[in-house]
Amino acid sequence: METLNLLMEGFASALTPINLLFALVGVILGTAVGVLPGIGPAMAVALLLPVTYGMETSSSLIMFAGIYYGGMYGGSTTSILLNTPGESSTVITAIEGHKMAKAGRASQALATAAIGSFVAGTIGTALLVTVAPFVVKFAVSLGAPSYFAIMVLALVTVTAVLGSSKIRGFAALGLGLAIGLVGMDPVSGQSRLTFGFAPLIDGMDIVVVAVAIFAIGEALWIAAHLRRNPARTIPVGRPWMGKEDWKRSWKPWLRGTAFGFPFGALPAGGAEVPTFLSYVTEKKLSKHPEEFGHGAIEGVAGPEAANNASAAGTLTPMLALGLPTNATAAVMLAFLTMKGIQPGPLLFENEPALVWALIASLFIGNTLLLLLNLPLAPLWAKLLKIPRPFLYAGILFFATLGAFSVNMQTADLWLLLLLGLLGFALRRFGLPILPLVLGVIIGPMAEQQLRKSFQLSAGEISGLWSEPVAVTIYIIIAILLLIPTVLKMIGKARGGASELTAGLAAGGAISEDELEKTELRLPTGARRSADDEQDGKDKS
Amino acid sequence: MTIVVGYLPSPQGEAALDQAIIEAQRAQARLVVVNSSKGDALVDDRLIDAREFHLLEEQLTSAGLDFWIERSAQGRDAADEILRVAQAQRAQLIVIGLRKRSTVGKFIMGSTAQRILMQSGCPVLSVKAGNAW
């Protein structure tokens, strides 16, 4: 009951004209960046961080939430129309969605994706309201060792379980943790990794790091691969669905939500696994299995719902534990820290107005997105005709302006360029971006908990597993790390892994042969590593 | 003898192509059709796809012409591309389609037609869509 009252207060605050306006700006921006491959919600939020200095915290957070959800909607549009998934979570949507579009059913694919996203987003947000207070109650009882264990779990799963290559994941994580270490030691006051360079003593500003890795790195990458054979627009009318489409869509929506939310809510995150599981399940349960691979509507409805439900789920650990598990949540959390708000289980107690206004705005944003996306989908697709030099010139301008405005010092611009080159190198060598960003943001938090545990145990290393929760989590980590190997061995023993085990072993990312089987063209964003290997082979 | 025509799947482009076919038939000349995109946008409807390529071939064959279609998906600027082909072929005439552009639009985006007019070494015939008084 108390929760409901708080939620109503949240609605009252989110429905003020000014906040409603920010929600609208957020969803429009979010859809736009979601539609454009390579520019994701994380980059948009990072670029907007400096703009929010003069804004109220709740208004900016509402706008960011709009961008976050909007990115999910926009991503599906590009996947369906162009077969170029902007994010790894929409790779699965592209398989069936693009086939549907080619068969002249683009309108139905867009409609089932949009309505499915709305259904899943709304249910997911409702689940967030129900689950988050329990998580908070549980989290307040946890000590530093357990916190540290949870953070390790988040870092390990994002790095090793998701994504295609463990080595590349850990390399990116290491880089991120190293960047997070730069600056003054919080306990002893020693300067670390500053190389006698004065501006580094305060640490690297998260705005500079995020903008450099997301915006500059991507711009350099695009500049190096600017020209490609342009695609033709697939004509779309206004998205709509017939009676048959509704009948075939509503069950996959609900099942997708059921897959998506728990995966998002775990401090492991990732939308790849649930979208893949949903796809496989729909394929098994469908009455029209022969249509899969040729544009089955269930194959769009399920994964798209799973994707959005997991996006809602991701906000549970972010708000209740202060632990982000995807890039956008990480940048949003950095924003809270910047505003002097301590993220963590006490957030609900200390800033109830802010949290509940944010949650209420998620419901509002979701509705706005459905209203914006259903009639305007053909308009959004027009964004893809913008010549990319214009687009990236704008992004570089805002990136530089943003990085400079943080501290008004030229040193930040050099840092921006340097980290931008690092971002380019990451893309060039197929290193995932997410572990790096999470390393930068979770790293210092984890260090704090680690130091605290050691202070409590007087330097004894056994202090790390002094709590039962911590022990349980370490066991889970061990199991998670072992599962793929075990599954692979079982698969080999059986002589060829089944689709499901193969998919799980690959961490939900579809494997190369899967890609060939479905004739999915290698998208620019999500599977760059594979692209690069191809390039390397061509050269040699 | 060669006539070069800049072609886009648009009313202006079709008008230019129709006029170029008439000119080529009259002069018994070879017709080179240039269609290019810079390939810097993800979606570009100005580049003809395989189906349109075949339709174009059929149209030119039925006109009884000696022709060549130059299509580049990752080409240079359209003006550069047309001028390059015209120079290489020692063209006697370039045919282009014109569309209405505001002064501001021309200032920002530049004008392909203007560049061809100024830099071409041969006469340029410009055609508007819907050639009617």
Separation between Cα atoms, residue A117 and residue A471, nearest integer Å: 37
Interface-testing mutation among A80, A226, A232, with chain B (most B C-beta atoms within 10 A): A232
Contact B40 A389 (CB under 8 A): yes
Packing angle, helices B11-27 and B50-62, rounded to 10 = 30
pLDDT value of residue A512:
40
According to DSSP, the β-strands at B30-36 and B67-72 are parallel
3-state secondary structure at position B126: strand
Contacts of A226 in chain B (CB under 8 A): 39-40
Written as six digits, the tokens of A167 are: 């080595």
3-state secondary structure at position B97: strand
User: Backbone phi, then psi, for B93, in 5-degree steps?
Assistant: -155, 140
Separation between Cα atoms, residue A185 and residue A23, nearest integer Å: 39
pLDDT value of residue A503:
54
Distances (CA, A) of A260 to A35, A77, A267, A327, A469: 22, 19, 13, 17, 25
Distance (Å) from the alpha carbon of B29 to chain A's nearest alpha carbon: 31
pTM here is 0.83
Separation between Cα atoms, residue B77 and residue B70, nearest integer Å: 14
Contact A232 B37 (CB under 8 A): no
Q: Which amino acid is at A87?
A: E
Searching chain A, which residue's CA lies closest to the CA of residue B45? A232
What is residue A521's DSSP assignment? P
What is the sign, positive or negative, of the torsion defined by CA atoms of A181, A184, A187, A188?
positive
What are the 10-residue block averages of pLDDT along chain A, 540 residues in total? 84 90 94 88 90 88 93 87 76 86 87 92 93 88 90 87 81 94 86 84 86 92 82 73 87 92 80 86 86 87 92 90 88 88 87 91 93 85 86 92 86 93 93 90 90 88 87 90 82 63 49 40 40 38
Nearest to A454 by CA among A442, A464, A466, A444: A464
Written as six digits, the tokens of A392 are: 């990236």
Interface-testing mutation among B38, B42, B45, B72, with chain A (most A C-beta atoms within 10 A): B42
Specify the CATH number of the domain B2-128. 3.40.50.620
pLDDT value of residue B32:
95
Helix boundaries (H) for A385-433: 388-407, 410-428
Contacts of A41 (CB under 8 A, 6+ apart): A30, A33, A34, A67, A68, A70, A71, A72, A328
8 A C-beta contact, residue B116 and residue B94? yes
Separation between Cα atoms, residue A124 and residue A253, nearest integer Å: 12
Q: Domain segments of chain B: what residues?
A: 2-128
Contact A385 B43 (CB under 8 A): yes
What distance, in Å, lies between the first and last C-alpha atoms of chain B?
Answer: 32
Which residues face B97 on adjacent strands? Answer: B127
Distance (Å) from the alpha carbon of A35 to chain B's nearest alpha carbon: 11
Q: How far does CA A380 lie from the centroid of its chain? A: 21
Separation between Cα atoms, residue A481 and residue A514, nearest integer Å: 23
Q: Which amino acid is at A258?
A: A
8 A C-beta contact, residue B100 and residue B8? no
Contacts of residues A172-175 at CB distance under 8 Å and 24 or more positions apart, as own/partner, are A172/A426, A172/A431, A172/A432, A172/A433, A172/A434, A172/A435, A172/A436, A172/A439, A173/A435, A173/A436, A173/A438, A173/A439, A174/A439, A175/A422, A175/A426, A175/A431, A175/A436, A175/A439
Nearest to B92 by CA among B125, B67, B123, B126: B123
Searching chain A, which residue's CA lies closest to the CA of residue B41? A387
Written as six digits, the tokens of A121 are: 């987003």
User: Backbone phi, then psi, for B3, in 5-degree steps?
Assistant: -120, 130
Q: Domain segments of chain A: what residues?
A: 2-539
What is residue A353's DSSP assignment? H
Separation between Cα atoms, residue A269 and residue A262, nearest integer Å: 9
Contact B42 A387 (CB under 8 A): no
What is residue A64's DSSP assignment? H
Interface-testing mutation among A39, A228, A236, A521, with chain B (most B C-beta atoms within 10 A): A228
Contact A82 B39 (CB under 8 A): no
Contact B41 A229 (CB under 8 A): no
8 A C-beta contact, residue A31 and residue A25? no
Nearest to A269 by CA among A115, A432, A393: A432
8 A C-beta contact, residue A297 and residue A245? yes
Q: Which helix (H) or strand (E) holds B5?
A: strand B2-6
pLDDT value of residue B129:
83
Separation between Cα atoms, residue A94 and residue A85, nearest integer Å: 6
Q: Which helix (H) or strand (E) holds B35?
A: strand B30-36
Instruction: Please give, one letter per residue, the 3-state secondary structure of A442-454.
Output: HHHHHHHHHHHHH
Q: Which helix (H) or strand (E) holds A354?
A: helix A352-382
Contacts of A84 in chain B (CB under 8 A): 42
pLDDT, one tens digit per residue, over A211-242 is 999 999 999 998 888 777 787 777 776 777 88
DSSP output for B14-30: HHHHHHHHHHHHHHT-E
Contact B49 A232 (CB under 8 A): yes
What percent of chain A has a predicted confidence (pLDDT) above 90?
31
Find the Cα–Cα–Cα–Cα dihedral A58, A61, A62, A65, rounded to 10°: -160
Separation between Cα atoms, residue A444 and residue A63, nearest integer Å: 26
Written as six digits, the tokens of A452 are: 């605290």
Written as six digits, the tokens of A424 are: 């380019």
Written as six digits, the tokens of B110 are: 């530049």
pLDDT value of residue B109:
66
The stretches in chain B having pLDDT less than 50 are none
